[in-house]
Amino acid sequence: MSLQEPYNDSLALGATALGALAALLAVVDVLAQEDTGLPVEDAVVTFAPAVPPPITRDHPVRLRLLMEATVVDLPIDATHTYECWTFGGHVPGPFIRAREGDILDVCFTNRDTSGMPHNIDFHAVTGPGGGTSLLTAESLETKNASFRLLTPGLFIYHCAVEPVGVHIANGMYGMMLVEPKAGLAPVDREFYVLQSEFYTNHASSSTSKLEFDFIAALDERPTHVVFNGRGGALTGPDTLKANVGDDVRIFFGNIGPSLSSAFHVIGTTFDRVYREADLISVPARHIQTTAVPPGGATVVEFKLRVPGNYTLVDHAILRVEKGAVGFINAEGEPLSPDIYSSDEPAVVCAGCKIHP
């Protein structure tokens, strides 16, 4: 089942005709609406670096969300793959956009056929385990649960089946934005960037497929520190694109599982930092680097004033060598010629990983 397919898996299994299924789902919709008085919507989800469009409604809804656990071989750098445990077949998992006061109706199916159970701990959910006790699904099992989203902010979600760190290290995480009731100020570009680590047998492996190294994980010695699931995810043809003059917003999270991030964009300061993804308080201004702990997030905004490449890094800068580097390219004319100028031509160091 893809994220676009019908919501209630148990109904889907019980109905043989599409018409009957549609009728049943309509009944479910009506019952849900009668139950809470809220209209029902399907959550719009996207995969990194894309972000769903801003929410324009001024009322809460029942927001239906399909989530799946799958196991997929994915690249984690230019030359290696890794058997990732995923939400939705991607690392990181989908970006979910909701509104304060919505009821999130989650339908979670575990399609991992290895026999491993999985679940979801939504940091946005209030209650024991962030939903895990209601959403722990055995292989090929589907679980449904509903959660009122009481607090706005940008929140991590992750699998929390024991050992939690292994499920996270293997790729089971993503983010959910709960917009404040008043919404967010409009910007020109929004991006989804999530930092994480992989702990692999890179040093001893002679194959292109790397495997999990539990000792390295216990010692907190990652072989890979990456944005959006792999080294190079935001480089080359996958560089983020923008125009000079754009106001850019980055929804940035760090799932670790162990390292804190010193998130920095080389070539600019953050005009606004919603520290620890607090979207209610007045944001901090003109920040160079912001700390994001494992299991935390931030929202940063900045205007691109000069054309060229801006570099996303964890300013624990040797992690660039482990993959933690990405780019935003701004095209256009400078907003003012005196911001960045010289009579000499621009020169970059050969082979530089952070100033291409």
> Is residue 313 a contact partner of residue 354, using CB atoms and an 8 Å limit?
yes
Torsion angle, CA of 301/302/308/312, rounded to 10 degrees?
-40
Cβ proximity to Cu ion: between 161 and 279 the closer is 161
Sheet order of strands, 289-292 included: 240-243, 325-331, 308-314, 261-266, 289-292
> Is residue 253 a contact partner of residue 153, using CB atoms and an 8 Å limit?
no
User: At closest approach, how far in Å is the CB of 158 from Cu ion?
Assistant: 8
User: At closest approach, how far in Å is the CB of 76 from Cu ion?
Assistant: 18
Cβ proximity to Cu ion: between 68 and 102 the closer is 68
Does 172 contact Cu ion by CB under 5 A? yes
Helix, coil or strand: residue 320: helix
User: At closest approach, how far in Å is the CB of 161 from Cu ion?
Assistant: 4
Out of 48, 161, 312, 324, point to the residue binding Cu ion (CB under 5 A): 161
Residues in CB range of 128: below 8 A, 6 or more apart: none
The residue range among 21-29, 163-171, 183-191, 337-345 that interacts with Cu ion, by the rule CB under 5 A, is 163-171
Taking the C-alpha atoms of residue 325 and residue 344, their distance in angstroms, rounded to an integer, is 28
> Is residue 98 a contact partner of residue 137, using CB atoms and an 8 Å limit?
no
The residue range among 43-51, 56-64, 158-166, 291-299 that interacts with Cu ion, by the rule CB under 5 A, is 158-166
Helix, coil or strand: residue 82: strand
Tell me which residue has its CB nearest to Cu ion.
159
Does 167 contact Cu ion by CB under 5 A? yes
Cβ proximity to Cu ion: between 167 and 249 the closer is 167
Place of tokens 């946005």: 124
Rule CB under 5 A: which of 29-48 touch Cu ion?
Answer: none
User: At closest approach, how far in Å is the CB of 252 from Cu ion?
Assistant: 23
Does 159 contact Cu ion by CB under 5 A? yes
Cβ proximity to Cu ion: between 172 and 306 the closer is 172
> Is residue 132 a contact partner of residue 121, using CB atoms and an 8 Å limit?
yes
User: At closest approach, how far in Å is the CB of 156 from Cu ion?
Assistant: 14
The site that binds Cu ion (CB under 5 A) totals a number of residues, namely 5
Place of tokens 């404040």: 180
Cβ proximity to Cu ion: between 112 and 246 the closer is 112
Rule CB under 5 A: which of 95-124 touch Cu ion?
Answer: 118
Taking the C-alpha atoms of residue 72 and residue 75, their distance in angstroms, rounded to an integer, is 10
Residues that bind Cu ion (CB under 5 A): 118, 159, 161, 167, 172
